[in-house]
Structure 1
């Protein structure tokens, strides 16, 4: 069973306290593993990578990089599984050949994500909403903290209506620094 989610990456304008028309927003749909344990770990991994490489450039880039990293992680389900596969880890370009995909029925690495237009509404079958607030800063400054909001499980309107209303009416189980969200909402591995 899939756990669908919407992630909104946002950078507030310098003068805005709440969302305004000058905020920068990028929103993505994640079809599977949208529960906090998975999403928050992936966000921490993304932030660490962006901090180390000094490549944080705002919401659109962060959303694209999140999709890229998540796609890379799901591609491993189709590479070198020990079955009669024509895709090999030492030749990742094999993934670009449509003939190599004939044996795959709708591979998740091609269908597991979507770039959303925040004005179009959410699908209505998501179980979690996330807001990842990036700091307003010069990209060459030292890395700074990300703030996240994590909705309660299905704690928002579930219809194909305006996205903004779903995010405004959501009940948030967490709002604070990403590191604290990880501490509070993610179970330690056994």
Structure 2
């Protein structure tokens, strides 16, 4: 069973001036593993990668990078590992060959994510909502903390209406720094 979720990456404008730019928003749908234990670990991994490589560039990039890293992590299900596969780890371009996909029924790495238009509404079968707030900063600044909001399990309206209302009316089980969310909501590995 899939645990679907919506992740909204935002960057608030710094200026309190009403003429300032609106918040920048990028939103994605994640079909599987949308529970906090998985999403928060993946966000921490992404943040560490972006900090180390100095490649944080705002919400749209962070959302795209999240999907890319998450997709890479599922590729192992489809390559080598002694299985009768025509996709080989030493030739990632094999994944781009449609003939190599004949044995796969809707591969997760092609269907696991979607780029969402926040104005169109959410699917209605998500179990969690997330808001990842990136600081307004220059790419040349030192890395800064991310904050995250994590909804309660299905603790928001479920309809095909504007997404903004679902995010506004959600009951948030956590709102704070990403690393604190990890400490508070993620169980330690056994």
Supply the RMSD in Å over aligned alpha carbons. 1.3
Unaligned runs of 5+ in 2: none
The 3 A distance-change label for structure 1 pair 21 and 164 is: farther
The equivalent residue for 2:106 is 106
Unaligned runs of 5+ in 1: none
Looking at structure 1, the residues matched to 140 and 14 of structure 2 have their Cα atoms a distance apart, in angstroms, of: 17
The 3 A distance-change label for structure 1 pair 16 and 81 is: farther
Looking at structure 1, the residues matched to 139 and 169 of structure 2 have their Cα atoms a distance apart, in angstroms, of: 32
Looking at structure 2, the residues matched to 104 and 67 of structure 1 have their Cα atoms a distance apart, in angstroms, of: 20
The equivalent residue for 1:176 is 176
The equivalent residue for 1:116 is 116
Looking at structure 2, the residues matched to 158 and 87 of structure 1 have their Cα atoms a distance apart, in angstroms, of: 39
The equivalent residue for 2:31 is 31
Q: Per-residue deviation at 1:74?
A: 1.0
The equivalences for 1:86-165 within 5 A come to 86-165=86-165
The equivalences for 1:9-24 within 5 A come to 9-15=9-15, 22-24=22-24
Q: Deviations over 1:59-82 (max 9, x none)?
A: 000000000000001111111142
- Residue 83 of structure 1 aligns to a residue whose secondary structure is coil
Identify which range, 128-137 or 69-78, moves more after superposition: 69-78
Aligned length: 188
- The alignment's TM-score, normalised by the length of structure 1, stands at 0.96
Q: Deviations over 1:1-27 (max 9, x none)?
A: 00000000000011359xx97000000
Q: Deviations over 1:29-65 (max 9, x none)?
A: 0000000000000000000000000000000000000
Identify which range, 104-113 or 76-85, moves more after superposition: 76-85
The 3 A distance-change label for structure 1 pair 108 and 170 is: same
The 3 A distance-change label for structure 1 pair 45 and 16 is: farther
